[in-house]
A and B are shown apart, each in its own frame.
Chain A
């Protein structure tokens, strides 16, 4: 009998989903569903297995009053994601906080802790019908790309930068990677293509007269209303044409984003400074020592807003608000409604030895939880520890004091009238 090569799995358009009662009795059912649905959707077995374990742990830890728990598997191509939806927001999520491992006494909290540890990225957001969605995301791995050779005598830019087809985008990434241009976002073409297909990356590519890519610029969602800009990757030699290329790419990105939902562009790791196009909203310590600027470009007029700021940060935020010319009502936040149970989510980038902490749930013990999180990841050898607080959320301010006690300092204020983002960093 002839062997047939398995056809590559087509992406599943209808996402598999299931609702189950909470508690240990249905945990194995949920795990089996996630494992089976993952494999049937073409998700790598090792990722399907990790997601199944997460589902099992979270379901087992869900209290009886949580109501039916929704499980939905989402193939994001460059990542796979398990959304766990609770109809209630009154849940104890403290177990998701990795710093609580020493406090955990019962199986439920240990389960949540394990689930959080298994994920590369953990998010929490309100469910559409009320309640809460926990998102556990695992990144796909890609084989290293063979080194490409970049043709000599590219360019100059001909016409306006374009929203590229897949082949052009892949070629740009291959060439940018070969010459070390553009930064980490411009690496591994299949990953970049996958990110774009699911709306996690947007690109403009400049072409020369022979329709060959000579440069590109990317942007990716960053928080609720911002985009993180990467690049530009410029394949032209130093000189006027290279400068003109950078300006054209940035202008194309701004034009593409105008009149949309994006309020601003942030550049956390500038690959190329674009004079005049951005403002400096802070500085971050670099991995190799020194500091680099955090750049920002607003897409809309900023009509002012409210910033909820803890007393310890008030002077720094007030000074930044003045320096940036922002119109802000700087308010002291009310104390969190809950006494205990604060939690933070951690997004880890082990290759860069970097962890970024974000508040998951505010409570009276937020400062202590924040302090413990920093200690935990510092103890694990993470060299760069960052935290991101949304100053539009009164509850986030409760974490600030603990982060600062643990040695983090305010590094940048990323303006957004609906909620400025305060970036704190170790050694800032």
Chain B
């Protein structure tokens, strides 16, 4: 007998808990949840995938963006029950065990982040764009990212990072705009 043993609280509430099953980053995950649980909370607290950040919690900032069947959604504005049977990609689904996703490489190479809080959402919006349009113009990148707010960078390097990734994903060698940043190369 330990000093403390948590026991389940019985509730008189007749709202049933729902079992949901979804693909998260390619892996099938299931959970029993209350309908009011937001997708962002299932991902962060339930599945412990804390790469998805909750910023404003009011559908403004886009930090909590994940891909829902390939389309960017604000996971603070989707109920987790709605994801039942669907395909979710979070930032943890970008890199493989051995290497970063080109978008992540781009953010690293082009200094596309400062505090990093908006970065997961930015990268997933960028992924949705590049999946649909592998060769976007700068304007198209800015347009696609216009639902994601960043308070640090002024967006310049984020846009550069996405263009860098686009070029790499098309098989080209990205023009390394920051190649001489290191000094005596």
A binds B: no
